[in-house]
Amino acid sequence: EKETAEKLEVDWDKYAEFVEVMTSNATKNYDDYTARLAELKGEGCDVNRLTTAAIGIAAEAGEFQEIVKKVLFQNKPWNQENKDHLIIELGDIMWYAVQACKALDVRMQDVLIGNTFKLLKRYPEGTFDYLKSEYRAPNDL
């Protein structure tokens, strides 16, 4: 494997060209982006709230993950202060999750019920199954 990796060369300029053609116009061009935003707004999408939720959930999940990483790998103590910090970050994640619910016009209770049904369908015996988690049935999101 190492020998193969050493022989493998990447042409960064060609890769950059590949990335360019594989990128949507709305990503590359402001006018296309704003047109897409207007289209989505016309379809009833709450773009501002949805964007806030998506970026916020990712950012706060990263902060939560950073604490867990430090506890697991960098000897940060498992103490009440760090648990409280995790709870605070989890609260921030939930705040953004509610923003997403508002953007999608759905109640959090309905999201949780939907998740419960999804998991019961995936694990009909009512318990976790490693194989079913790795090798999902068709249409199992």
- DSSP H or E stretch at residue 113: helix 108-122
* 3-state secondary structure at position 31: helix
What are the Cα distances from residue 77, in Å, to 3, 71, 81? 41, 6, 9
Higher pLDDT, 7 or 55: 55
CB 129 within 8 Å of CB 123: yes
Residues in the chain: 141
CB 53 within 8 Å of CB 99: yes
* CB half-sphere exposure, 50, CA atoms < 13 A: 11
User: Residue 5 — pLDDT band, cuts 50, 70, 90?
Assistant: low
Tokens read off for 36: 């897409």
pLDDT digits (tens, 9 = 90+) for 29-75: 999 999 999 999 999 999 999 999 999 999 999 999 999 999 999 99
pLDDT for the residue 137: 83
pLDDT digits (tens, 9 = 90+) for 91-125: 999 999 999 999 999 999 999 999 999 999 999 99
Q: Given a cut of 70, is residue 136 above it in pLDDT?
A: yes
Q: Residue 21: which residues within 8 A CB-CB, separation 6 or more?
A: none
pLDDT for the residue 1: 66
Q: Given a cut of 70, is residue 88 above it in pLDDT?
A: yes
Tokens read off for 88: 């605070």
pLDDT digits (tens, 9 = 90+) for 20-35: 999 999 999 999 999 9
Model-wide pTM > 0.75: yes
Roughly how many angstroms between the first and final C-alpha of the chain, as a whole number?
Answer: 34
